[in-house]
Amino acid sequence: MLRFIRPVTVAGVLIAALALAGCATLRVNSYVERGADFTQYRSYAWAERGAFATGDPRLDNNRFFSQRVEEAVDMQLSARGFEKANHATADLLIHIHARMEQRIDAGTLLVDFMDRRTNRLAWRGWAERSFDGVIENQEWMEATIDETVARILAQLPRKPL
């Protein structure tokens, strides 16, 4: 289980300060396995489904959160031509990790694509952002999830046309 717990000191305070000042802080990044040809992958399946632990009691075991994340990923992958496949035959298996920093209402959402045959990480994308006030408004939370997932998956290597 990957955890992104960092000592939040100056950076945390800064993020909270920016959040309060009304700036939407969203930082995305990704990693691709060196030498891997991501464009060879065509199909995916969820490695596991269901509510996951987040470090925030409002979101732990909360299907309104976890299902929205999964739906947003499904939608983005479908738009990019990936096929949803059976767990035993899919090229890629997807894991989601979410880590909320309750002290400042900020968090990290991370999407991992594992190569099912080699069981190695093929691609990882993540976003760090402030969530101040977002979780308290379900529609806003859903829109934020959709936007965050779209921004993360926009970094996926493009398939050749």
Partner 1 sequence: MGRQLLRATLVLTVGLLLTGCATIRVSSQTDHGIIWSNYKTFDWGLADALPAGDPRLEKDPFFRDHVAGAVEKAMATHGFVLSATTERPDVVIHYHANVAERVDPDYVDRDYGSCASDDCRPRVSRYEAGTMVVDVVDAATNVLIWRGWAQGSLEGVLGNRDRLRRRIDESVRQMFETLPSAR
Question: Of the two residues 90 and 149, which places its CB atom closer to partner 1 in the complex?
Answer: 149
Which residues touch 127 (CB under 8 Å, ≥6 apart)? 26, 27, 28, 29, 108, 109, 148, 151, 152
**58, 87, 120, 159: which one binds partner 1 (CB under 8 A):** 58
**2, 37, 39, 57: which one binds partner 1 (CB under 8 A):** 57
Q: Cβ of residue 118: shortest distance to partner 1, in angstroms?
A: 32
Size of the site for partner 1 (CB under 8 A): 23
**Is residue 31 involved in binding partner 1 (CB under 8 A)?**
no
Handedness of CA 4, 128, 30, 155 (dihedral sign): positive
| Touching partner 1, residues 98-117 (CB under 8 A) | 102-104
| Residue found by looking up tokens 């959040």 in the block | 19
Which residues touch 83 (CB under 8 Å, ≥6 apart)? 42, 43, 44
**Is residue 40 involved in binding partner 1 (CB under 8 A)?**
no
